[in-house]
């Protein structure tokens, strides 16, 4: 069930100011997200909790330095394509409310605090359709191929921490107090979650963002970490090639050489461990231990194995 709304129509929120309904990838959209601003999709990187972008990479982006170009993956493409479909499902499950396009917002007092929620939620009006003036919450739409990071449907702590950071930032930017999630997992498993606004968490994020922006202004680069994203950022920094020797510290040299040896040993051990697990699975689908999923097998059409993949293991609380 789709409800037609005007993209020019925007509800009032306590703390947010609408910048506009901007097309992703457009010049106006890029301008609203670049410079010394922090968006909701960036705040998890600020506090070191994003699985996609490191603090190191975000610092380079905000400092106007080179970062690796954005890559449109199948997961991102299909997440975008399915957003309206999942939003319609949420709408079907909540007939007393309307979820309308939200647009891009900034905080009323903190111009650098930006957010682009998926939808604003309004109470269902009676009679002729006309959005109420006041939005009452946010709707965030997500898709996931396996769902390992998500808890059971409706679980209070079922939302991954990086998405919790995202919606906490969005609520703090707009002044709203509740975010509903509509999540499609594996193409058929629909789940819903609710995250309530927490002033303490929001303040932690705000303080971290202000400190981060100050470090960008002062040229204080974050330390190099182990994220693949950081390595990609460092790879794109050189703007030329000089065929010369560069003296490096003995500590850095030893760390690199020892890591190379350890990597070869770990790769060999991983291959052996995979062989053992795959042999135990046989024609099965998943390897489990005491009810905990360890790995899953992807078969070829003829039944032989295409790959063995690990399940992500959540850290113990």
Same domain for 60 and 109, yes or no, is yes
- Within this chain, do residues 180 and 50 fall inside the same structural domain, yes or no? yes
On whether residue 223 sits in a domain, the answer given is no
Rounded to the nearest integer, the mean pLDDT of the chain is: 90
Summarised one tens digit per residue, pLDDT across range 270-299 is: 999 999 999 999 999 999 999 999 999 999
Q: Do 112 and 214 share a domain, yes or no?
A: yes
pLDDT band at 127 (very low <50, low <70, confident <90, very high): low
Q: The domain spanning residue 167 has which CATH number?
A: 3.90.320.10
Residue 293's alpha-carbon distances to 59, 284, 296, 297, 314, in angstroms, are 36, 13, 8, 12, 11
Number of separate domains in the chain: 2
* Cross-strand partners of 289: 292
Q: Each residue of 156-193: pLDDT tens digit?
A: 999 999 999 999 999 999 999 999 999 999 999 999 99
Residue with tokens 């610092």: 59
Same domain, 25 and 153: yes
**CA–CA distance from 157 to each of 12, 144, 151, 295 (Å)?**
29, 17, 7, 24
Q: Is residue 38 part of a domain?
A: yes
Q: Residue 160 sits in which domain range?
A: 16-218
* Domain end position, chosen among 218, 239, 262: 218
- The answer to whether residue 254 is domain-embedded is yes
Q: How far apart, in whole angstroms, are the C-alpha atoms of residue 64 and residue 35?
A: 8
Beta bridge partners of 30: none
Mean pLDDT value of segment 97-125: 93
Contact 90, 99 (CB under 8 A): yes
- For 49-59, the pLDDT digits (tens) are 999 999 999 99
d(CA 123, CA 131): 8
In a domain, 125, yes or no: yes
**In a shared domain, residues 40 and 111:** yes
The phi-psi region of residue 303 (left if phi > 0; otherwise alpha if psi is between -120 and 50; otherwise beta) is left
Q: Which of 171, 194, 218 is the last residue of a domain?
A: 218
Question: Is 225 contained in some domain?
Answer: no
3-state secondary structure of 296: strand
As given in the structure block, the two tokens for residue 175 are 């002044």
pLDDT for residue 143 is more than 80: yes
Note whether 146 and 186 are within 8 A (CB). Answer: yes
β-pairing verdict for 178-185 and 137-144: parallel
- Mean pLDDT to the nearest integer, 68-86: 90
If asked whether residues 167 and 24 sit together in one domain, one would say yes
29 and 160 in one domain?
yes
Q: Kindly report, residue by residue over 236-262, the tens digit of the pLDDT.
A: 999 999 999 999 999 999 999 999 999
Report field, pTM of the whole predicted structure over 0.85:
no
Residue 128 pLDDT > 90, yes or no? Answer: no
């Amino acid at each position: 069930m789709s409800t037609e709304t005007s993209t020019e129509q925007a509800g009032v929120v306590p703390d947010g100011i609408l910048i506009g309904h901007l097309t992703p990838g457009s010049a106006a959209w890029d301008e609203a997200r670049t410079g010394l601003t922090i968006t909701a999709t960036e705040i998890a990187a600020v506090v070191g909790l994003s699985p996609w972008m490191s603090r190191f990479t975000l610092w380079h982006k905000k400092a106007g330095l080179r970062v690796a170009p954005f890559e449109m993956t199948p997961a991102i493409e299909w997440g975008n394509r399915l957003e309206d479909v999942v939003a319609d499902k949420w709408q079907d499950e909540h007939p007393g409310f309307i979820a309308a396009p939200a647009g891009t917002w900034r905080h009323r007092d903190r111009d650098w605090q930006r957010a682009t929620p998926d939808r604003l939620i309004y109470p269902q009006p009676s009679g002729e359709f006309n959005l109420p003036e006041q939005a009452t919450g946010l709707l965030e739409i997500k898709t996931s191929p396996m769902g390992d990071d998500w808890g059971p449907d409706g679980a209070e702590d079922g939302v991954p921490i990086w998405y919790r950071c995202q919606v906490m930032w969005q609520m703090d930017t707009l002044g709203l107090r509740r975010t509903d999630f509509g999540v499609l997992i594996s193409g058929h498993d629909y789940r819903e979650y609710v995250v309530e606004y927490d002033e303490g968490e929001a303040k932690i994020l705000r303080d971290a963002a202000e400190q981060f922006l100050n470090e960008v202004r002062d040229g204080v680069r974050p330390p190099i970490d182990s994220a693949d994203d950081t390595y990609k950022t460092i790879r794109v920094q050189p703007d030329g090639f000089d065929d010369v020797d560069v003296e490096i510290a003995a500590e850095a040299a030893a760390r690199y050489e020892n890591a190379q040896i350890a990597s070869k040993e770990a790769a060999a051990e991983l291959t052996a461990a995979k062989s053992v697990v795959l042999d135990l699975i046989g024609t099965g689908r998943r390897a489990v231990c005491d009810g905990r999923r360890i790995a899953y097998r992807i078969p070829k059409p003829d039944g032989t194995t295409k790959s063995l993949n690990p399940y992500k293991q959540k850290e113990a609380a």
